[in-house]
Amino acid sequence: MKQEPSLNEEIICRICGVNWKEIFNTSRTDYYDNFCPCCGRQVGYQDSLPQAAKKARVEWLSSDAIWIDDDTEPKGWNKEMALAQIKANVPPEFQ
């Protein structure tokens, strides 16, 4: 079952840690059920359970944490940045 975030909650992909509000500066309805531009997973679905998020993260990291969407990729993106983003943004139970 999907867990929709509250209106005030930061929009964090629990797989890669990307903060959608920082990237897109959008309202909640603009991102929910879309695919993360960083790891390519469906936000609110493929990251809704800790075990699923951890498994997807292992797969993403094993592909060198490639940023999926070239248009939103931060300059100099690399695996170290990905690991820092995960540590800073992903809730502990999903790490």
Virtual CA dihedral for 68, 72, 78, 80, nearest 10 degrees? -110
pTM value is 0.77
pLDDT at 67 over 70: yes
Domain boundaries, the chain: 1-82
- The torsion region of residue 89 among left (phi > 0), alpha (psi -120 to 50) and beta comes to alpha
Average pLDDT, the chain: 81
Inform me whether the pLDDT recorded for 55 exceeds 60: yes
